[in-house]
Amino acid sequence: MIGRIGRAAGVVLFGLAGCSSTAPSLGNDGAADTMTTTGGMCGVGIPAGQACNMVKAMGATSIQSCVTGAIPAGTGGTILDGTYELTSQTYYNSNCSQIAVAETVVFSGNCLELATSVPVQFTGSATFTVAGANFMLTTNCVHIDVDGATTMSNPSRTQTFTATPTSFTLFTNNSASGGTGSDTVAVFTRR
């Protein structure tokens, strides 16, 4: 089940998939805790077993919609600092599970902090760069608060974005780059 959840939860931005042989470290509670490369909160070290940030998932849950056809591409723009809530997800040409997801993302400079609360509690932090409409993440910290969860990153994917003063939309085209997972469009609305 974590595989289905992993593809639906906050993992929209981090591109995590469930049921992997590459597991994060395990904390005292046996839960999959942190997979830290350079520290959480976009540079500050986070001890194993701790959340990556203090962000709380807020807002209503979003149910994925499933469509067929070619996934569009983002057009770029300026990503404004602020707090954004996931308001919709669209899966292209896939068997999407339509799991309710609540997710909040905070952009600050080139730092991205994320939290989900439904269907699993998840925090993550990363730095990001943009080049035109391309969006590239460097994951610093991942914390999944589920006993026995295993995850792996899906680096083989193409992500573009569209930013407006009120929203951030992420276009993840896994099939174009031979990655695993679904092609998705996730819309985040700025609070």
Nearest-angstrom CA–CA distance, 187 and 85: 8
Nearest alpha carbon to residue 5 among 173, 178, 146: 146
Give the max Cα distance, the chain: 45
| Terminal C-alpha separation, the chain | 32
Q: Residue 45 corresponds to which tokens in the numbers above?
A: 């070290």
**121-135 pLDDT tens trace:** 888 888 999 999 999
List, in order of start, the domains of the chain with CATH numbers. 2-190 (2.40.128)
Model pLDDT, residue 17: 43
Model pLDDT, residue 36: 34
Between 36 and 52, name the one with better pLDDT. Answer: 52
Model pLDDT, residue 99: 83
**48-69 pLDDT tens trace:** 778 888 899 988 888 889 999 9
Q: Report, as an integer, the average pLDDT of 25-44.
A: 41
Q: Write down the residue that tokens 């969860």 correspond to.
A: 149
**158-178 pLDDT tens trace:** 799 999 999 999 999 888 777
DSSP β-bridge partners for residue 190: 84
List, in sequence order, the alpha helices (H) in the chain. 2-8, 11-14
**143-161 pLDDT tens trace:** 887 655 544 454 546 799 9
Model pLDDT, residue 33: 38
Model pLDDT, residue 74: 97
| pLDDT higher than threshold 60 for residue 73 | yes
**86-106 pLDDT tens trace:** 999 999 988 777 788 899 999
Number of other CB atoms surrounding residue 30 within 10 Å: 11
10 Å CB burial of residue 109 (0-12, 13-18, 19+) is exposed
